[in-house]
A and B are shown apart, each in its own frame.
Chain A
Amino acid sequence: MDPVLLVASIMVSATPILLAALGEMVVEKSGVLNLGVEGMMITGAVMGFAIAVSSGSPLLGFAGAAVSGAVLSLAFGFLTQYLLSNQVATGLGLTLVGLGLSALIGSNYEGQRAPALGKLDIPLLGDLPVLGRMLFSHDIMVYVSLALVAAVWAFLKFTRAGLILRAVGEDHASAHALGYKVVRVRLAAIAFGGACAGMGGAYVSLVRVPQWTEGMTAGAGWIALAIVVFASWRALGVLIGAYLFGGVTVIQLNLQAAGTTVPVELLSMSPYLITIIVLVIISARGAQGAPASLGRSFHASS
Chain B
Amino acid sequence: MKRRTLLASAAALSLIAGSAFAQDKPKVAFVYVGPANDGGWSQHHHEAAMKMKAHFGDAIEVIEQESVPEGADAERVLTQMALSGADLIFTTSFGYMDPTINVAAKFPDVKFEHATGYKTAENVSVYSARFYEGRAVTGYLAGAMTKTNKIGYIGSFPIPEVIRGINSSYLHAKKANPDVEIAVVWLSTWFDPAKEADATQALLDQGADVVLAHTDSTAPLSVLAKAGAYGFGQAADMAEFKPEPRLSSIIDEWAPYYIERVQALIDGSWTSTNTWSGIGDGMVGIGEFTGPIPEEVLATATKMKEDIASGAYHPFTGPINKQDGSAWLAEGEVADDGTLAGMSFYVEGVSGDIPN
Show the binding face of A for B, using Cβ within 8 Å. Answer: 1-2, 5-6, 9, 12-13, 16, 103, 107, 110-113, 116, 204, 208-211, 213-218, 220, 249-250, 253-254, 256-259, 261, 263-265, 268
Contacts and interface: CB of A to CB of B under 8 A. Distances in A.
Contact of A215 (B35, B152, B184): B35
B353 interface: yes
Interface string B253-271: 0000000000000000000
Interface residues of B, number: 41
B197 interface: yes
A257 B203 contact: yes
A110 B239 CA distance: 12
A6 B185 CA distance: 16
Given A209-B193, A213-B193, A249 B355 contact: no
Contacts of A254: 202, 205-206
A204 B195 CA distance: 10
Given A116-B226, A211-B219, A250-B201, 13 more contacts: A110-B37, A113-B225, A213-B219, A214-B35, A249-B195, A250-B202, A253-B185, A253-B198, A256-B183, A256-B186, A258-B206, A263-B353, A264-B353
Given A111-B39, A268-B186, A257 B206 contact: yes
B183 A257 contact: yes
Nearest to B205: A5
Given A218-B194, A259-B183, A111 B218 contact: yes
Max chain B C-beta neighbours (<10 A), residue from A215, A217, A220, A263: A215
A9 B202 contact: yes
19 contacts: A9-B202, A13-B198, A16-B194, A111-B218, A208-B194, A213-B217, A216-B194, A216-B217, A220-B194, A253-B202, A254-B202, A256-B183, A257-B185, A257-B205, A257-B206, A265-B355, A265-B356, A268-B186, A268-B187
B202 A257 contact: yes
B199 interface: yes
Nearest to B152: A257
A53 to B, nearest CB: 13
Contacts of A12: 201
